[in-house]
């Protein structure tokens, strides 16, 4: 797992230094599919850089269902373009589209 933590990249952005939502400096990386799918998010680069407010704050992804679903849907679409030979639902057990 530590190897996955070190070599992070995202299928949604090439710039991990700024928040994906507001472009402020990144504070944390957010696995778009967390919980039981955290490792799959790391394996398939389903992560986004977020500032504190958009990660853990009141308007952040962990408290804002609309933001959470927007990221999940965008990431699923990009996953299907990036990995056309893989079935998203068989890996993440659900479709968000």
The pLDDT, as a whole number, for residue 58 is 93
Cβ 13 vs Cβ 49: under 8 Å? yes
Q: Tokens for 21?
A: 């939502």
Residues of the domain holding 30: 2-92
What's the count of helices (H) and strands (E) in the chain, helices before strands?
5, 2
- The mean of the pLDDT values for the chain is 93
In a domain, 14, yes or no: yes
Q: Does any domain span residue 84?
A: yes
Q: What pLDDT digit, counting tens, does each position of 29-61 carry?
A: 999 998 899 999 999 999 999 999 999 999 999
Question: Does the residue 66 lie in any domain?
Answer: yes
**In this model, does residue 88 exceed pLDDT 60?**
yes
Number of domains in the chain: 1
Do residues 21 and 67 touch, judged by C-beta distance below 8 A?
yes
Q: Is residue 97 part of a domain?
A: no
pLDDT class of 7 with cuts at 50, 70, 90: confident
């Amino acid at each position: 797992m530590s190897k996955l933590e070190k070599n992070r990249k995202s299928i949604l952005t090439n710039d991990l230094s700024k928040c994906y939502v507001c472009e402020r400096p990144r504070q944390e990386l957010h696995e778009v599919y967390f919980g039981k799918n955290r490792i799959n998010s790391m394996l398939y680069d389903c992560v986004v850089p977020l500032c504190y407010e958009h990660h853990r704050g009141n308007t952040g992804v962990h408290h804002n269902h609309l933001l959470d679903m927007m990221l999940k849907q965008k990431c699923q679409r990009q996953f299907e373009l990036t990995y056309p030979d893989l079935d998203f639902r068989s890996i993440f057990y659900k479709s968000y589209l």
